[in-house]
Amino acid sequence: MVTVLHTGPDRDLATSYLTAALKHHKQADIARHLGIDARTVRRWVINQSVPQHYIFGLQRLLPLDTPFEGEAGFNYIDLFAGIGGIRMAFEGLGGRCVFTSEWDSYAQKTYAENFPGGHAINGDITQIDAAEIPDHDLLLAGFPCQPFSIAGVSKKNALGRAHGFACETQGTLFFDVARIIQTKRPRAFLLENVKNLVSHDKGRTFDVICRTLRDELGYHIHYRVIDGAHFVPQHRERILIVGFREAVDFDFDALPLPAKGQRKLAEILHKTDGSEPQLPWDGERFFNHTANRIDQKYTLTDKLWAYLQAYAAKHRAAGNGFGFGLAYPDSVTRTLSARYYKDGSEILVYQGEGVNPRRLTPRECARLMGFPDSFRIPVSDMRAYRQFGNSVVVDVMRHVAKLMHPCLDADILEPELPFRYANA
């Protein structure tokens, strides 16, 4: 797993990453990866000083088995873990994962391949007693969005009876997040969900979540919708909810977000000019290095391409916006979805006049989500498309993790006083 070799100030951390990267890559290759000239890298080596904003680029160059040295700065748990996109961000800051839960066996396979060793991956979180989960400083969860039934709550209101999150959220997966927070009382949490969570059920779902976290569990919460297009060539808006047990100096407005649209699709596409890296774990699965071309199986068949064009024309005639999304090297794509494996229609790569467009390969999907090329893809293409379509933009999570990191310092947090739950 990729973890830091040094947990000091950012500049020291960046220098440590450079030192580690030089064990695996030439200076010229590092420069090319970062988009700078080789003389700059040589100057960094001589001066032993690297600007902190290159941390994330250098981290991508490290192999997954880079050893952890020293004590972890904080412990965390990874719920609804998927393939580990959120975990990757926090491990890069020196955190140590002490518990993982993911119900899908194929996602477990990808997760285990990329985060070997340590604890076993637990399955269905609804079947796990919160008291059995290890103590932790931080809870991470990309929980699914589900509707909350209002019938029981309305009845209790009418009878003048108190109700709590167990009543309002029972039967939803958010309930399992809440019961773990209630039992373990971590210093902080980070929850991730689709943008539409805010407006789901006319805003009631999000209101229940906020009231549960803030009023019933007693956490100070902050939330923000962030578009992945700040970091990758893909529009992908997700809501992030951050909570702290104590009041801390956390502000989403302090998050440095690069301008959207600067990253283009060409950056993540396989290179056909001979510069495509040869990844031992991929072999020739996605890209033929001898012929310098993408495997032909990713090009749409005449039948599928004709169907998608006819489908789009039908909906245009009806005044609807449905249809395929043709993407070019200078494009920022639509959102990659879990259904991408069906026809790839939301992101079809243009291959020139007279040539059918193609799907992204799973390796390109990984890059589009911000995963480094060292990330292994041990499952079938269909499963890989679903996994990346359900994942997070890693660079978004890295920046939020960095913003949260100072607030996880034990020295700035007072011991928790006994907390009385709102409906105890």
Give catalytic residues, as residue numbers: 145
> Is the sign of the CA dihedral 364, 367, 369, 372 positive or negative?
positive
Q: Which residue, 251, 197, 253, 257, is CA-closest to 229? A: 257
Residue 214 φ/ψ, nearest 5 degrees: -85, -55
Burial of 399 (0-12, 13-18, 19+ CB in 10 A): buried
Read off the amino acid at residue 327: A
Residue 198: Cβ within 10 Å count: 15
8 A C-beta contact, residue 103 and residue 176? no
Cα dihedral value 307, 391, 195, 321, nearest 10 = -10
Residue 163 φ/ψ, nearest 5 degrees: -140, 155
Cα dihedral value 408, 97, 5, 71, nearest 10 = 70
Residue 421 φ/ψ, nearest 5 degrees: -65, 150
Coil, strand or helix at 247: coil
> Is the sign of the CA dihedral 115, 232, 146, 255 positive or negative?
positive
- Residue 101's DSSP bridge partners are 122
Instruction: List Cα–Cα distances, 380 to 121, 297, 310, 332, 392, in angstroms.
Output: 20, 14, 29, 26, 20
Coil, strand or helix at 69: coil
What is the end-to-end Cα distance of the chain in Å, rounded? 41
* DSSP percent split of the chain into helix, strand, coil, nearest 5: 40, 15, 45
Q: What is the DSSP letter of 299?
A: B
Which residues, at least 6 apart from 311, have a Cβ–Cβ distance to it below 8 Å?
322, 323, 324
Q: Rounded CA gap, 362 and 243, in Å?
A: 34
Locate tokens 């068949």: which residue? 301
